[in-house]
Amino acid sequence: MSTTGKNPSSPVSLWQTISRARVVDLSQPLHPGMPRWPGDPPPEFAPVASIPHDGYYLRRFTLGEHSGTHLNAPSSFHAGGVSVDDYPAESLVAPAVVLDVREAAAANPGYSLGAAQVAAWERQHGAIPAGSLVLLYTGWQAKWASPDRYLGLDLEGMPHFPGFSLAAARLLVEQRGAAGLGIDTHGVDGGRDPSFAVNRLVLEQPRLVLENLANLDQLPPVGAVLFVGRLRLQGGSGSPASVLALVP
């Protein structure tokens, strides 16, 4: 008598587990009018082949490595740091926890998650498990269609949006063993930190940094698993990412 399906590691049982989960796309669409960091190259798309003329449709495109939903690599902030193609495949799959700070971010566009807020979340949901991706849900994803509002540029061109404080990032990485940080804004540092201190801390390990995430409102505080797809750009400082979440 066959025991296929009863072995927890069998392909059948693995697929049964996956197929029972809800799949959430956490990536923003890539297009020329999307928000981009000041000074980054604009996305460009141009036709190369058409169905009437060539029998198939094809475009070429150019993007900055940190365009749209993207993964930062250590080489973007640390000389000699590994590039985006060096991340082991297993590091791109991890459980996720979501901290909802929409109310605080709506009241203060320059809000930074502090260590006290992490402690308050843990009192309600339990300690953040080691190896988790910690995602900050600020509500900024709702501003994606309006680049000026999303970046919050002031008259001097300085962005304003929420992020992680360095103290919170240090707690999460050094004491909780987080696999990385992610956020639905253009940067885990927040818009007013030109030093990129949080990025530098997280990527020194190296861990994962995900920015411009979408649909964090569809994830529970605990229980989702993230799959981070990246372009294996040799020597890349980062890569546009396709991020999927499995929600039980």
Is the pLDDT at 4 greater than 50, yes or no?
no
The letter for the amino acid at 88 is P
Q: Degrees (nearest 5) of the Cα angle 156, 166, 186?
A: 45
Give the distance from CA 80 to its chain's centroid.
Answer: 23
Contact indicator for 128, 98 with CB cutoff of 8 Å: no
**Coil, strand, or helix at residue 77?**
coil
Position 13 confidence tier, pLDDT thresholds 50, 70, 90? confident
What are 81-132's pLDDT values in tens digits?
Answer: 999 999 999 999 999 999 999 999 999 999 999 999 999 999 999 999 999 9
pLDDT of residue 9: 60
Cβ–Cβ < 8 Å for 119, 164 = no
Distance CA 150, CA 113 (A): 18
C-alpha distances (whole Å) from 185 to each of 68, 121, 123, 150 are: 10, 20, 26, 7
CB of 172 closer than 8 Å to CB of 122: no
Residue 3 has pLDDT above 50, yes or no: no
In the chain the domains, ranked by start, together with CATH numbers, are 22-32+65-247 (3.50.30.50)
State the average pLDDT for the chain: 94
- How do residues 190-238 score in pLDDT, each as one tens digit? 987 889 999 999 999 889 999 999 999 999 999 999 999 999 999 999 9
The per-residue pLDDT for 20 is: 87
